[in-house]
Amino acid sequence: MITTHALLLVVIFLAVFTQSLAGFGVALVAMALLPDLIGIQRATPLVALVGLTLEFFLLLRYREALNINAIWRVALASIIGIPLGIWVLKSVSDRLVLLGLGVVIAGYALYALLDLHLPSLEKSAWAYGFGLVAGILGGAYNTSGPPVIIYGNCRRWLPAEFKSNLQGFFMLNSILVVIGHVINQTLTPVVWEDFLWVLPAVGLGIITGISLDRYLDPLRFRKVVLWLLVAMGLRLIF
């Protein structure tokens, strides 16, 4: 019989591998699978720690294209949203939290698959609204990515800048989310034990994803992941 720790390793490896190769997905993949395995209250702070570790290494790789001016407003607004998201996680029933998580995962995956042509946003003030929503989703589910990805599309970020800006925002957001979990005492000894256990899977996922980047078609791989996320999101809803 496969143990919980073994399944944790597999899920974290798949999540980290996905983001290392496709530039997104660590939280979406992990949060779609982990609640059934260890529960939402334990999964959320664990994925925050994993995300922070991953984003540090990915940001080192893509740092040359990072545009701080493009993300500081989004990151600033997320500071307000993160405590609200953590409050939702602690105060709302697990069933409602999982329902919201399923809507976020399936909704974002469908949006990405439809490849909608979004209007251009000329004013940078829009960043504050997107950042607030990203902070709430980050605090509750670790899924701060969808609002920022949509914002980046509307601001017409170039491909290299897009990936680098996302990693920069994710890292800043993950630091704030982890601090929020520390303040709210949700980083329990069990969560830290899980984190230490999955560190080898994080390292292997980063190395494998970066190594296969030149051999696999990232766009095709991205589509496969998105369809899987639709299915996993719907499963959480229903």
pLDDT tens track for 184-197 = 888 999 999 999 99
Q: Determine the average pLDDT of the residues in 199-218.
A: 86
Q: Residue 201 — pLDDT band, cuts 50, 70, 90?
A: very high
The C-alpha atoms of residue 82 and residue 176 are separated, in whole angstroms, by 7
The stretch 8-30 carries a mean pLDDT of 88
What dihedral angle (degrees, nearest 10) is formed by the CA atoms of 136, 115, 96, 82?
A: -10
Angle between helices 159-183 and 40-62 (to 10 degrees): 140
More confident residue, 177 or 164: 177
Q: Of 23, 35, 29, whose CA–CA distance to 143 is shortest?
A: 29
Are the CB atoms for 48 and 61 separated by under 8 Å?
A: no
Cα gap 112→71, rounded to integer Å: 21
Report pLDDT digits (tens) over 26-58. 888 999 899 989 999 899 999 999 988 988 887
Contact between 134 and 166 (Cβ < 8 Å): no
Q: What is the pLDDT of residues 90-148, one digit of tens each?
A: 888 888 888 999 999 898 889 888 877 778 888 888 889 999 999 998 888 888 888 88
Please tell me the predicted confidence (pLDDT) of residue 117.
78
pLDDT of residue 133: 92
pLDDT band at 2 (very low <50, low <70, confident <90, very high): low
d(CA 101, CA 27): 11
Q: What is the pLDDT, as a whole number, of residue 114?
A: 87
State the pLDDT confidence band at 1, using cuts at 50, 70 and 90.
very low
pLDDT-based confidence at 65, cuts 50/70/90?
low
Question: What is the pTM (predicted TM-score) of this model?
Answer: 0.84
**Cα–Cα dist 98/166, whole Å:** 25
Give the pLDDT of residue 214.
75
Averaged pLDDT score across all residues of the chain: 86
